[in-house]
Chain A
Amino acid sequence: MTLTLPRSYQGANGAAGPLLFLEGADRVALGEWVTVRIPGTTDRRGQVIDAGDKVTVVQVLDEPMGLAPGRAEVTLTGEVARAVVGKELIGRALSGVGLPLDGLPPPVGEALRPVNGAPMNPSRRVRPSEFIETGVSAIDGLNTLVRGQKLPVFSGPGLPALELAASIVEQARAPRGEPFAVVFAGIGITARETRRFLDRFTKAGALERSVLYLNQASDPTIERLLCPRMALTAAEYLAFECGLHVLVVMADLTHYCEALREIATARQEIPGRRGYPGYMYTDLATIFERAGILRGRPGSVTQLPILTMPDDDITHPIPDLTGYITEGQVVLGRDLHRRGVFPPIDVLPSLSRLMNAGIGKGRTVPEHRQWADQLYALYAQGREARLMAAIVGEAGLGAADRRALQFGEAFEKEFIGQPLGRRTLPETLDAGWRLLEAFPRDDLTRISDAAWAARQAARAAAP
């Protein structure tokens, strides 16, 4: 599109929260990048969110305090928001809008890219099917992550989602030692959380392979809208231009959505569910859909977004809309956490939609699907039995339910829980099989005779 040259205007006509209203501007473009200069304060940046021949609405990214429309010099830059991208960014820590936080000079990079990106042509996408071993049994075994997937972690307040993400980053091994990088977008997270996460990162030696975009809780809310887009623009460049396999960890998307709601309210838009704007689905999609693999390009973007379910409510609009866009979800359970299980992954509501493409013959093991289905079915039965036992007592249960109940307990402790840390896939599979073998063969209705025979043969052959 034909963006024009910079134009400056003395004085704006109004301000409301992070919004600045400007009248009489010429040839304004939607999404145009704006700088706002008020004598005696640092320059602010903003973006045109409503371009009109009468009134133009600018969303101001920095601190609104002291924003005096009458004294503002507003410059329309003639450009859309762009991010510096390049391999040079690896190892850097930047703010949510791309300014250095690590005391080094601003990155020069290799290119400037519009932060909004463009949708991938679906016909150019490669179907994600490469298994990523995270070392977490509940994921590798039951909710397999594959390259190019977007698999969010649904957490609750106080649940160790960042720890889980950190251990995945530490443990996720690129098969065949291909080059990879981590891009971390901290969206509105506290200094404490940031420090904890970075400590883990540093210890694991992951920092030199990472780009960090940190929008802290104390930063202006509105920067939260830009932060994930900065991170993804950098990630797309690393993946599709530099050929790296990029894992993007974003925390916490709940803060992002709240910022979105704040802006929508300031614009007096008609709210959708619980005050969130009606376009939140589309807006989130423009973030999540930037995961993927493209035909004929070596790299990939895999996303591991983290969000907090307000009041652990999975039907809240934020987890709900996310779940409709992402390819599954890993749900953390408070019960498990309370009982000291780490990682406290509640596998029943968890799901990886791309699992089937990533497992099976030639990828993991041929019987992976039925093995997982069997564990799921028995665990579901075990949970039901637990409810029943709470009413009628364990003694009142039938033999099958009693077995399922015991299985459920053991499954949570020995399979979901990983006190010893990382497990390889064979270790995960073995842990599952050992639990299954406590049942009579006839109870394992999902396991085919061939798979059963193969397991028994393998066990006999093992030392």
Chain B
Amino acid sequence: MTAPALIRRVTGTLVEAAPLPGVGLYELAAVGSGGLLGEVIRLAGDRATLQVYEETNGLEVGEPVSPSGRALEIELGPGLLGSVLDGLGRPLAALAAHSGDFLTAGANVPTLDPARWWTFGPALAAGATVAPGDVLGTVEERPGFAHRILVPPGVRGTLAHITGGRYTVHETIAELADGTRFTLAQRWPVRRPRPVAARLPDDRPFLTGQRILDFLFPVAEGGTVAVPGGFGTGKTVIEQSLAKWADADLIVYIGCGERGNEMAEVLSEFPELTDPRTGRSLMDRTIMVVNTSNMPVAAREASVYLGVTLAEYYRDQGYRVALMADSLSRWAEALREISARLSDMPGEEGYPTYLASRLGSFYERAGRVQCAGTPERTGALTLITAISPPGGDFSEPVTQACLRVAGAVWALDPALAHQRQFPAVDWEVSYSEYLQGTLPWFEQEAGTGWTDARRRLLELLQRGRELKEIAALIGPDALQDEDRLVLEVARLIRELVLGQSAYSATDASSPAGKTLALARLVLALHDAARAAIAAGKALERLDLAHQRRHIAAVRDAGPEAWPQAAETAHAELARLGKEAV
């Protein structure tokens, strides 16, 4: 037995300790007499450098450090839905019960409530041969939500016994002939992707309910999106809108280095909102990982891995999971902060040179997959990541590294935000690589003509932008009627099709059919007005405001009312150019 390891140096979130001859990289240790959680990130001789996940102020040179032999893991099992965890997987409610209104270091609370009872219904019987990912049975985690209990990765054998009934998460529900026991809970190291059987093509859309996203820049289920935008451009509102309305079975929301009050808003709002698809509280399909900007920076670094592991776990059960991370820039900054303290040779703007590769492997954990195990099932993990470029400058390293790996980019523009044009997605900079794969679905499900309407809409926007530049030089009055009509229609597209209020009671989420109907109406308006102008009518004499009101009524109509409103608006179009103005 060697001498006990002691703290030799404390600087910021890093602690150096020695002698620690036997430890491995990424091994966890209890640091100091308070038992703070730390992770070994560098080894030199018998001296280890640990990043500490909790407040290090007050930590003394000479306090003990004891390695745990385990990596940073999360306990997975029933009871995760609806929970709000910190970056290390500790439920915030339990932390409040433990240490009050303010967070203190060294609180040791489990992710899953060890005292809670669950009813387990087995899907297999004794004698069955099981392999990793096989469904042993189910637990009804929330009303109507079956939590599938899976054989953990790497375990196989013959079931000696399996019994239904009421269990806590750590009791044995089944056992293999070799003595391996199964419980409702299993552990997984968060930095390692969970295995899948196969990856599937990106050919179905992830419906966001946001017209500009679904229509112009759709993302596939299992795809990855980067949402870069300066502050105040509405990143958080978009992420929250998606968390509320996107078509997914489950949402994992990571508040990574963001605002405490914003999290309070989500926490007060989500339980009140109903999931339109199930009629139950939105919180029933949500897991939140919250690590606000003033919480320890190393835990912020870990929180994105924790979040993605939770998402993978439900994906493996065969669910379609959406992961929102707000924001990856804060994660990258945590990485930079830690690497600077390690005196790593810095890359661009002080970020470590491994920034891009870490980001790349994080994005790769998304995908639509054939889950491991039987019965056969598919799952998806769609990744939507907000990025906060300093000064709104997209050329900075984090944004650039994300753009290289993300399949779609929804770029937010401060100029649009200043005009209160929301979502402030810049249609000239944004793009999606999932168009090819998803357009056939839209053509089939939302209505034929989707592709064509999309193309025409973009052309009008583009032409509108060009004409606006010309008008700025020569004055709009010098333009032809036909061109001024394009300017007007481009404005209507922005207002009626692309603009959507996250706070509207009826329009916060738009079904694909309504999106197409609105686009078609504006295009039809353009056609009708152009015909009238061609027939000699002056633009001023066309009552576009009347038509606008009818189309706006479609936009503002709820899910039941819009088809009727769209019919009315179409009928009204026939009057364009015939009215007396």
- Chain B positions within 8 Å of A315 at CB level: 390-393
- Chain A positions within 8 Å of B58 at CB level: 1, 3, 29-32, 80
| CB-CB contacts below 8 Å: A62-104 with B | 80
Tell whether B559 is near chain A: CB-to-CB under 8 Å: no
- Chain B positions within 8 Å of A292 at CB level: 260-261, 264
Interface of A is mostly: mixed
Whether A285 contacts B294 by the Cβ 8 Å rule is yes
Tell whether A28 is near chain B: CB-to-CB under 8 Å: yes
Number of A-B contacts (CB under 8 A): 256
Min CB distance, B554 to chain A, in Å?
14
Given contacts A1-B33, A273-B349, contact A121 B60 (CB under 8 A): no
Min CB distance, A417 to chain B, in Å?
20
| CB-CB contacts below 8 Å: A428-456 with B | 442, 445
Tell whether A366 is near chain B: CB-to-CB under 8 Å: no
CA distance A281 to B398 in the complex (A): 15
Tell whether B259 is near chain A: CB-to-CB under 8 Å: yes
Whether B60 contacts A377 by the Cβ 8 Å rule is no
Whether A270 contacts B96 by the Cβ 8 Å rule is no
Min CB distance, A324 to chain B, in Å?
5
Residue from A148, A317, A323, A401 within 8 A of B232 (CB atoms): A323
- Segment at the B interface, from A176-184, A390-398, A419-427: A390-398
Tell whether A242 is near chain B: CB-to-CB under 8 Å: no
Whether B10 contacts A51 by the Cβ 8 Å rule is yes
Whether A392 contacts B95 by the Cβ 8 Å rule is no
Min CB distance, A77 to chain B, in Å?
12
- Chain B positions within 8 Å of A1 at CB level: 32-34, 58-60, 105
- Chain B positions within 8 Å of A271 at CB level: 350
Whether A388 contacts B475 by the Cβ 8 Å rule is yes
Whether B293 contacts A325 by the Cβ 8 Å rule is yes
- Count of A interface residues, CB-CB < 8 Å: 92
Whether A80 contacts B57 by the Cβ 8 Å rule is yes
Min CB distance, A90 to chain B, in Å?
23
Residue from B101, B259, B390 within 8 A of A273 (CB atoms): B390
Min CB distance, B243 to chain A, in Å?
16
Residue from A125, A270, A373 within 8 A of B346 (CB atoms): A270
Whether B33 contacts A353 by the Cβ 8 Å rule is no
Given contacts A281-B330, A282-B337, contact A123 B60 (CB under 8 A): no
Interface string of A30-72 (1 = CB under 8 A from B): 1110000000000000000111111010000000000000000
Tell whether B194 is near chain A: CB-to-CB under 8 Å: no
| CB-CB contacts below 8 Å: B198-229 with A | none
Whether A442 contacts B337 by the Cβ 8 Å rule is no
Given contacts A50-B11, A121-B103, A123-B96, contact A3 B60 (CB under 8 A): yes
- Segment at the B interface, from A112-120, A186-194, A198-206, A207-215: A112-120
30 A-B contacts, Cβ less than 8 Å apart?
A2-B33, A26-B61, A30-B59, A52-B9, A52-B10, A120-B101, A121-B92, A122-B84, A122-B92, A122-B267, A123-B93, A123-B95, A148-B261, A269-B340, A270-B340, A277-B340, A278-B340, A279-B340, A282-B297, A290-B294, A292-B261, A320-B230, A324-B231, A325-B259, A380-B420, A388-B472, A388-B475, A392-B473, A392-B475, A397-B475
Nearest 9 A/B pairs, CB to CB: A315-B391, A396-B475, A285-B293, A123-B92, A289-B294, A1-B58, A392-B475, A125-B264, A31-B57
Chain B interface (Cβ within 8 Å of chain A)? Answer: 8-12, 16, 32-34, 55-63, 84, 92-93, 95-96, 99-105, 230-232, 236, 255, 257, 259-265, 267-269, 290, 292-295, 297, 330, 333-334, 336-337, 340, 343, 346, 349-350, 388, 390-393, 414, 418-420, 471-478, 484, 495, 503, 545, 548-549, 552
Additional pairs, 9, CB under 8 Å, beyond known A123-B84, A380-B420: A3-B60, A49-B11, A122-B255, A123-B93, A273-B349, A282-B257, A295-B101, A327-B261, A396-B477
